[in-house]
Structure 1
Amino acid sequence: MAGNSLLSWTPAAIVFDCDGTLMDSERHWEEARELVLRGYGMDTPDDFGERTKGLHFTECGRVMTEMAGLSAGQADQVTAQLLDHFRKLVAAAPVTIPGASEFVRLTADFAPLAVASNCPRDVVESGLAQAGLLPYFTDIVVPDATLRPKPDPDVYLAAARACGAPPSVCLAVEDSYCGILSASRAGLRVLGVGPAPRDEELALADMWVSTLADAALVAWAESREPVGACVRI
């Protein structure tokens, strides 16, 4: 669906990814991966960040275990090391993506908001809290024993339910192919955000912007009919 169509529509709810969409934490994942692999005497391949972008941390740990030539039984150890480094890096320097804070505040005036993330809940909530954004979200949905991680649709389906809206009238805001695939499989319309997208990302996204500070996107958010902020207490 063309971007013009998306900007003539008001979603019943908006579900945001967190890493790379709201919080600039992809840099922390990259550094954490480098630290772990370096500990096993390996350099991180140049394309590794793109290959693992948006994946659940357990899957990333499994891939790193294979790359390091370790046994499958060591995957939990590698994943734990990855999360430990990541948590420390995020806590030391939480940074929002440019335009994200203002866009969240604008959209909260006309739609309930949720987060669907592959990150651990404590990392998502801590980062959003430090950015002053946590109260704007009705729910934070992450994989658990009953919800499969992206690219499966579970977290987006659960986030739409938490907002009280059918997926077909919800908007997902995503920066990775893994996340876009998850949202698309759940039946949400998708706003992609970030630098030049790949063909497979463009094919699934209803609209793509380089930043949430995009002038046309901000004007759209400002023009929606306010229904009152949906703020979690």
Structure 2
Amino acid sequence: MTITEQPVRGWSPEAVVFDCDGTLMDTEQHWQDARIRAFHDFGLRPAPGFAERAKGVHYLACGRMMADEAGKPDLAPEITESLLSHFMDRVADDPVTMPGAAEFVHRLSGRLPLAVASNCPLTVVEQSLDRAGLLSCFRHIVVPGAPRPSGVTPEGGAFAEGVIRPKPWPDVYTTATLLCGARPERTLAVEDSLTGIESARRARLRVIGVGPQPPDGESAVDLWVPTLRAPQLLDLDWVRGG
């Protein structure tokens, strides 16, 4: 049976893995501010539509993309460093959770294994969740660049050089699922970006999309909700505890 043949409404997960930026933490505006400031640091301007193209992209890839699109590929390391520095400053100043995120996580905490699979650096994820009072709710936080745990081999081959790769590779979700002791087909991902949704799907997870729905977003997930306090999500049996 494929993932989509049994709808999420008639199903319950063994574990839930959350994206962080834009799903748990309201950081997309922070990333946008950081991108603008990093461009400004080098006297550059983003091309039209850059913010949407950069959504959900790992910050190293985003820095390279910023440099390439500005016609300054040699500046990629410096732009990337500036981008991350500005972002961490913004997060420290203004850690804000997405609507309904804290309540939803606390509702599930202690009942199901919970994990975070993010493209952000580990320190950024931990600091953001800690300041929001959510860090203790998660058993595991998985980010790119860490060595892959023993026994984690995603469908289609081993991790490149034994290292967890960023989304849209499936590595972060495959790893989080294994660490939670769950089966991929019985694990739920909660995501806000098409990059993250692709990562979770490649790891064979079911997916709930949250936030403004992009074109074709509904067809990529099992359920799309505007926020984590949406009635159609809170009424699911496994969320209510039924």
TM-score between the two structures when normalised by the length of structure 1: 0.91
By how many angstroms is 1:106 displaced? 1.1
Residues 186 and 6 (structure 1), Cα distance of their counterparts in 2 relative to 1, 3 Å cut: same
| Distance (Å, rounded) in 1 between the aligned partners of 2:6 and 2:108 | 18
| Distance (Å, rounded) in 2 between the aligned partners of 1:99 and 1:28 | 19
Moved beyond 3 Å, runs of 4+? 1-4
Q: CA RMSD for the aligned pairs?
A: 1.7
By how many angstroms is 1:6 displaced? 1.0
Match of residue 219 from structure 1: 235
Match of residue 218 from structure 2: 202
Residues 210 and 92 (structure 1), Cα distance of their counterparts in 2 relative to 1, 3 Å cut: same
2:235 counterpart SS class: helix
By how many angstroms is 1:8 displaced? 2.4
Match of residue 87 from structure 1: 88
By how many angstroms is 1:204 displaced? 1.8
Q: Counterparts in 2 of 1:152-163, with a 5 A limit?
A: 152-163=169-180
Confirm or deny that 1:172 pairs with 2:189: yes
| Distance (Å, rounded) in 1 between the aligned partners of 2:94 and 2:48 | 24
| Distance (Å, rounded) in 2 between the aligned partners of 1:2 and 1:218 | 20
Q: 2:42 corresponds to which letter in structure 1?
A: Y
Moved more, 140-149 or 35-44: 35-44
Moved more, 152-161 or 136-145: 136-145
Give unpaired runs (5+ residues) of structure 1. 226-233
Residues 7 and 198 (structure 1), Cα distance of their counterparts in 2 relative to 1, 3 Å cut: same
Confirm or deny that 1:186 pairs with 2:188: no
Deviations 1:171-229 (A, max 9, x none): 00000000000000000000000113221x3222111001111012112254225xxxx
| Distance (Å, rounded) in 2 between the aligned partners of 1:46 and 1:124 | 29
Q: 2:191 corresponds to which letter in structure 1?
A: E
Q: Counterparts in 2 of 1:122-141, with a 5 A limit?
A: 122-141=123-142
1:45 counterpart SS class: coil
Deviations 1:141-183 (A, max 9, x none): 0001510000000000000011001111000000000000000
Deviations 1:60-80 (A, max 9, x none): 0000111222133x3111111
TM-score between the two structures when normalised by the length of structure 2: 0.88
Q: Counterparts in 2 of 1:72-111, with a 5 A limit?
A: 72=74, 74-111=75-112
By how many angstroms is 1:47 displaced? 1.4
